[in-house]
Amino acid sequence: MKRIAVLTSGGDAPGMNAAIRAVVRSAIYNGMEVYGIRRGYAGLLSADFVEMDLRTVGDIIHRGGTILRTARSEEFKTPEGMEKALENLKTLGIEGLVVIGGDGSFRGAIELSKRGVATIGIPATIDNDIPFTDYSIGFDTAINTVVEAVNKIRDTATSHERTFIIEVMGRESGHIALYSGLACGAETILVPEIPYTIEDVCEKVVTGLKRGKLHTIIILAEGAGNAFDVGKKIKDITGFETRVTVLGHLQRGGTPTAFDRILASQMGGKAVELLKSGLSNKMVGWVRGELVVTDLEKILTTQKTFNKELFELANILSI
């Protein structure tokens, strides 16, 4: 394999740049030429390619976001879009593609692979909702961002003896809420994977305050309800003052943690190694401290398991 390309797609995640750097430098080290595709699959259709050399990825390992930019492309999903993408890759003589993104991005990689382009996926999303990898790039940074924010909110929560509902990202998954909630010692964690009733939430607030807790921190995944509704209902039922903070896109930015940089570097290096050895249609994951390679199709047909034991533990520790 002489020439490969790399793109980032879907929501940006801290550590994507470290992964781009690792792909580019490993490929050059292995005697390949590398192109960056700007704005994900949209750039693949508009032939927005840029040749990458060692310097183009200098000084980016510590930067959040993605130097290649990212986008969601509807046109790429059409037969005409796919034709155009293949033509653009062929014109430049690109034989392999590394796709850095979430499961939606891997769908495109599978289609390209079926049509003869060798593709390797690298999981990058703060949601950490991709199966066959314990961590996706960006998750560790995101939960640390939440912890830092909640540390500050706690000061006010304690001073005013208030109940705070803090909404974190995760439209369909509660991994950010669970991990950050456990790390913050949150009284309650609400996630889409586990049903809850507002009455139970209120009971825990009341019991905690009765036994001398100075505040209540509730971490709510965005997919588990509206934070303002939850806050209002708690106030109506218990009479306690509530406040809401929606952390939003704050969680997607910022300098990646050392963990995310190391994970991204390892995955980027491995992706190039897989392309070099002729593999395609695979994702590089990280399971129990080791790099693991899985068929991309399996990623799309498997649901990532929610760690119920950790959820139970968080509940026990916050009694």
Which of 12, 103, 127, 140 is catalytic? The answer is: 127
Residues in the chain: 319
CA distance 18 to 209: 45
CB of 145 to ligand F6P, least distance (A): 12
Cα three-residue angle 38-44-50, rounded to 5 degrees? 45
The answer to whether 129 is a known catalytic residue is no
Q: Footprint of ligand F6P on residues 210-229 (CB under 6 A)?
A: 222
CB of 172 to ligand F6P, least distance (A): 8
Structure tokens belonging to residue 136: 């996706």
Which residue in the set 6, 11, 22, 108 belongs to the binding site for ligand F6P (CB under 6 A)?
A: 11
Which residue in the set 42, 126, 149, 227 belongs to the binding site for ligand F6P (CB under 6 A)?
A: 126
Reported in sequence order, the residue ranges of 81-145 that DSSP labels E, i.e. its strands, are: 96-101, 118-123
CB of 88 to ligand F6P, least distance (A): 25
Structure tokens belonging to residue 28: 């050059």
With binding defined as CB under 6 A, does residue 108 bind ligand F6P? no
Q: Which of 16, 106, 26, 35 is nearest to 296 (CA)?
A: 106
Which residue in the set 120, 169, 178, 272 belongs to the binding site for ligand F6P (CB under 6 A)?
A: 169
CB of 298 to ligand F6P, least distance (A): 20
Q: Which stretch binds ligand F6P (CB under 6 A): 25-33, 105-113, 124-132, 192-200?
A: 124-132
Q: Which is nearer to ligand F6P, 17 or 216 (CB)?
A: 17
Q: Which is nearer to ligand F6P, 137 or 169 (CB)?
A: 169
CA distance 234 to 242: 7
Q: Which residues contact 199 (CB under 8 A, 6 or more apart)?
A: 237
Q: Judge whether 33 and 63 are in contact, CB under 8 Å.
A: no
With binding defined as CB under 6 A, does residue 260 bind ligand F6P? no
With binding defined as CB under 6 A, does residue 171 bind ligand F6P? yes
Q: Which of 147, 129, 46 is nearest to 89 (CA)?
A: 46
Cα three-residue angle 142-16-1, rounded to 5 degrees? 150
CB of 126 to ligand F6P, least distance (A): 6
Q: Which is nearer to ligand F6P, 171 or 298 (CB)?
A: 171
Q: Which stretch binds ligand F6P (CB under 6 A): 44-52, 165-173, 178-186, 205-213?
A: 165-173
Which residues on neighbouring strands pair with residue 8, listed in sequence order?
Answer: 100
R_g (Cα) of the chain, nearest Å = 22
Which residue in the set 8, 17, 66, 125 belongs to the binding site for ligand F6P (CB under 6 A)?
A: 125
Torsional sign, CA 31, 37, 41, 44: negative
Residues recognised as catalytic: 127
Q: Give me the residues that bind ligand F6P (CB under 6 A), please.
A: 11, 125-127, 169-171, 222, 252
